[in-house]
Amino acid sequence: SRVVKLAVIPGDGIGPEVIAEAEKVLDAVTESAEVTFEKTRFSLGAARYLETGDTLTDEDLAAVASHDAILLGAVGGMPGDPRLKDANIERGLLLKLRFALDHYVNLRPSVLYPGAPGPLAEPGEIDFVVVREGTEGPYVGNGGSIRTGTPHEIANETSVNTAFGIERVVRFAFAQAEKRRNKLTLVHKTNVLVHAGGMWKRIVDEVASEHPDVAVDYLHVDAATIFLVTNPGRFDVIVTDNLFGDILTDLAGAVTGGIGLAASGNINPDGAFPSMFEPVHGSAPDIAGQQIADPTAAILSVALLLDHLELSDEARRVTRAAREDIEARDGSARTTAQVGDAITARLRA
């Protein structure tokens, strides 16, 4: 039978707490399936850095890359920890993985499930997906500062945008739209970021001419934040730059019942490298170790992982179990493990 080699990176803070529940669900849904997951656990993150001084060695990267897929919790240490002053776990680990494994699509679906505690009075139906570019933009680390720490400091952070990089993610977004409701919204800031924005707009227009069935519109990112709150139902597929996509997807999580429900996939669609699935949220140091984090985002990330591996039946079962759990919530407090157990029980039912 089929074997999937899965790298598991629980990470820091609530990462290990939510990944424990995600693994329970993964184990349960594949119990009787035609597939076996062979898991390798990687100790990576702030805790590992504090222990060994390493963030992600070449050996770590090669080992992770030799798997078929990756499940990650979250990374990032306690804010203000002086021992982490010179570390940059986010850049040196998370972004390094996304860049090295060419995760040029960061897929972040937002669905308002029945019963989810959204903040909007009349949300209507919300079901859209953000296709966030994952390997370019202001995230490339192309910058520097001079006269650092003086009143004359100059710090630059250059956004790198390539025609190649934009076209491939835009093509992916159009393909998504065709599998969904044939609507695509480009979000950028073309009125100010004329060079990069102009290229995004031109490439979207060019690719659009090959997809006459897809209705295309454009929003400046500031206006997009308005509509995400006032009329989120207008969105089907949003395609956007790395940084705009980061910000919009936290907002999207908030309007669809909280960041504890928001799942994501860092995808290398070409299949040359393993894709990596993780909740949208971070290590949440403010609630870490208390067993109060919602593991649903990690569990729904498992559904995205299964879907990516073309285990669509298993993916559907996980999503349905999570959805039923959300619908049955009555506001009473549950531990992280209780939520994971409840979703696992629904899977087995």
Active site residue 341: no
Q: Can you tell me which of 101, 259, 326, 343 binds ligand NAD, judged by CB under 6 A? A: 259
Q: Which of 189, 236, 241, 325 is catalytic?
A: 189
Q: Total residues at the site for ligand IPM (CB under 6 A)? A: 6
Q: Give the per-residue contact string, 256-285, with ligand IPM (x = CB under 6 A; - = no).
A: ------------------------x-x---
Residue 300 binds which of Mn ion, ligand NAD, ligand IPM, none (CB < 5-8 A, kind-dependent): none
Distance CA 53, CA 15 (A): 20
Rg value, the chain, Cα = 20
Residue 95 binds which of ligand NAD, ligand IPM, Mn ion, none (CB < 5-8 A, kind-dependent): ligand IPM
Residue list for the binding site = 98, 108, 132, 222, 246, 250, 282-294
Measured from the CB atom, the residue of 90 and 341 that comes closer to Mn ion is: 90
Secondary structure string (H, E, C) spanning the chain: CEEEEEEEEEECCCHHHHHHHHHHHHHHHCCCCCEEEEEEECCCCHHHHHHHCCCCCHHHHHHHHCCCEEEEEECCCCCCCHHHCCCCHHHHHHHHHHHHCCCCEEEEEEECCCCCCCCCCCCCCCEEEEEEECCCEEEEEEEEEECCCCCCCEEEEEEECCHHHHHHHHHHHHHHHHHCCCEEEEEECCCCCHHHHHHHHHHHHHHHCCCCCCEEEEEEHHHHHHHHHHCHHHCCEEEECHHHHHHHHHHHHHHCCCHHHCEEEEECCCCCCCEEEEECCCCCCCCCCCCCCCCHHHHHHHHHHHHHCCCHHHHHHHHHHHHHHHHHCCCCCCCHHHHHHHHHHHHHC
Q: Minimum Å distance from CB 242 to ligand IPM?
A: 7
Determine phi and psi for 308, rounding to 5 degrees: -60, -35
300 binds ligand NAD (CB under 6 A): no
Residue 284 binds which of Mn ion, ligand NAD, ligand IPM, none (CB < 5-8 A, kind-dependent): ligand NAD
Q: Which of 24, 139, 236, 241 is catalytic?
A: 139
Q: Which of 19, 79, 6, 43 is nearest to 279 (CA)?
A: 19
Residue list for the binding site for NAD(+) = 282-294
Active site residue 325: no
90 binds ligand IPM (CB under 6 A): yes
133 binds ligand IPM (CB under 6 A): no
Q: Minimum Å distance from CB 210 to ligand NAD?
A: 34
Q: Can you tell me which of 246, 307, 314, 325 binds Mn ion, judged by CB under 5 A? A: 246
Q: Give the per-residue contact string, 218-257, with ligand IPM (x = CB under 6 A; - = no).
A: ----------------------------x-----------
Measured from the CB atom, the residue of 90 and 324 that comes closer to ligand IPM is: 90
Q: Minimum Å distance from CB 293 to ligand NAD?
A: 4
9 binds ligand NAD (CB under 6 A): no
260 binds ligand NAD (CB under 6 A): yes
Please give the angle made by the CA atoms of 230, 232 and 236, to the nearest 5 degrees: 155
> Residue 46 burial by CB count (10 A; 0-12/13-18/19+): exposed, middle or buried?
buried
283 binds ligand NAD (CB under 6 A): yes
81 binds ligand NAD (CB under 6 A): no
Residues that bind ligand NAD in the complex, under the rule CB under 6 A: 14, 18, 74-76, 90, 94, 259-260, 278, 281-287, 293-294, 297
Residues that bind ligand IPM in the complex, under the rule CB under 6 A: 90, 94-95, 246, 280, 282
